[in-house]
Amino acid sequence: MASFEEQLAAATARGANVVPGVVLSAIDSTGARIYDKASGYHSVAPDAPEISRDGTFWIASCTKLLSSISALQCIERGLIGASEPVGKILPELAAPQIASLDEAGELVLTPAKNAVTLSTLLTHSSGNAYQWLNPAIDAWRKKEGSNVDELRLDNAKLYSTPLNFEPGEGWAYGGGCDWGAILAARLHDQTVEQYMEANIWKPLGMTSTTFHTDRRPDIKERLVGMSARQEDGTLKEAEMPFPSVIPDAGESGGGGITCSVDDYMKVLADLISPTPKILKVETIEKFVFARHLTDAARNKLSESSFGKFMGVADDAADYSLAGMYIDGEGGLVPKGTVCWGGFPNLKWMANREKGFAAMYASQVIPPGDEKSAELAAAFYKEAVRLAAAK
């Protein structure tokens, strides 16, 4: 069997049509690197230069972790409770309706009985679902007649939609972390970027992170090229998906950040550190590395098959206030791991008990690309092996 290094070299060779280039990193709880490598090329272009460790990536939904941390800092400061209704700070969610389709396919709206709380937002159990994953929300949007691309300039408007179910009684991937970021920004009278820069990026020394690549040419010029898998299995250069997300959108806490792997690893390192800087140990243990779904919500998560995205059985997946929480054994990552990923096949994981964290970064679409998933799984196995060997 080929070693991981051999597999990586073959996958990222020019013209291999697996992945043009990746940046991989894994650390232990002291912050020491147990794996750190850039392999392949900056893009699929035949004359593309080699990819470097200081390359930057549109990290898409990996942004959600930073939004969750922003909201958790507000809990620490006593500004809101995890189980407290968010309506006073987010009046858009104070009196939500639930959207459904009747037998004839017609839209039906009914008032929600349960309140939307910060916990349900961050665990995707509030019912605030992405339009593209929910037919009822899509029907409501079409009936309303609003332009989604225009709404991306104001995320509060974009995610001011009816809910998919009663808060706390289901699970649907959506805009909850966007709302978490908006909440933190409103409580501090700042923009989302201003808040994160002051409370996460600067304390951790993250100098290659932004929502606005137009304001940071030093970050934009290092942005790794996007590639798209074709029907015949080859890769071609591609435009950035959701171009309105970058750079001019309303600082999407669900998917708007561009950064380097080194910067993102500083966040993961802090979450597994014995002396974290951006959250207290008790906050991390209570809200980041712990399950928080109700049984009803967990059952719906199991039905969604999102667990397979992170390489675990669906019945082993729960959700913390920071990401998918793995509370079963036998999967790609060990029990106690918090993990998630991003649209162009990025993935991250952290395990505080075992003292390691890792990130796989690429810019390949569509999400769930099989060849990308195979390489990411191989890297995760290698990272887990290296962590256990220390």
Give per-residue pLDDT as tens, 74-125: 999 999 999 999 999 999 999 999 999 999 989 999 999 999 999 999 999 9
260 plus 239 within the same structural domain:
yes
Same domain, 320 and 220: yes
Residue 195 lies in a domain: no
What percent of the chain is modeled with pLDDT above 90?
A: 84
For residue 333, the enclosing domain spans 4-64+206-389
Q: Is residue 181 part of a domain?
A: yes
Task: Tell me if 304 is assigned to some domain.
Answer: yes
CATH number at residue 334: 3.40.710.10
Rounded Cα–Cα distance for residues 363 and 240 (Å) = 9
> Same domain for 269 and 327?
yes
The answer to whether 125 and 170 have CB atoms below 8 angstroms apart is yes
| Count of domains observed in the chain | 2
Domain end position, chosen among 153, 187, 221? 187
The model's pLDDT over 207-229, given as tens digits with 9 standing for 90+, comes to 999 999 999 999 999 999 999 99
> 246 pLDDT band (50/70/90 cuts)?
very low
Residues with Cβ within 8 Å of residue 306, at least 6 apart in sequence:
173, 314, 317, 324
Sign of CA dihedral 41, 42, 44, 48: negative
Of 127, 153, 187, the position where a domain reaches its end is 187
Residue 355 forms part of a structural domain: yes
Assess whether 245 and 164 both reside in one domain. no
If asked whether residues 136 and 165 sit together in one domain, one would say yes
**Alpha helices, H only, 164-322:** 176-187, 192-196, 202-204, 217-220, 261-272, 281-283, 295-304, 306-309
Strands 97-101 vs 235-237: parallel, antiparallel or unpaired: unpaired
pLDDT at 247: 46
The reply to whether 99 and 220 lie within a common domain is: no
The 10s digit of each residue's pLDDT in 148-159 is: 766 767 889 989
Please check whether residues 76 and 164 belong to one and the same domain: yes
Would you say residue 306 lies in a domain?
yes
Mean pLDDT rounded to a whole number for the chain: 94
284-299 per-position pLDDT tens digit? 999 999 999 999 999 9
Strands (E), the chain: 21-28, 33-40, 56-58, 97-101, 107-111, 209-210, 227-229, 235-237, 258-260, 317-319, 324-326, 338-342, 346-351, 356-361, 364-365
- Max mean pLDDT among 125-134, 144-153, 349-358 falls in 349-358
Going by pLDDT thresholds of 50, 70 and 90, the confidence category of residue 178 is: very high
Same domain, 383 and 241: yes
Q: Decide: residue 130, CB within 10 A, 0-12 exposed, 13-18 middle, 19+ buried.
A: middle
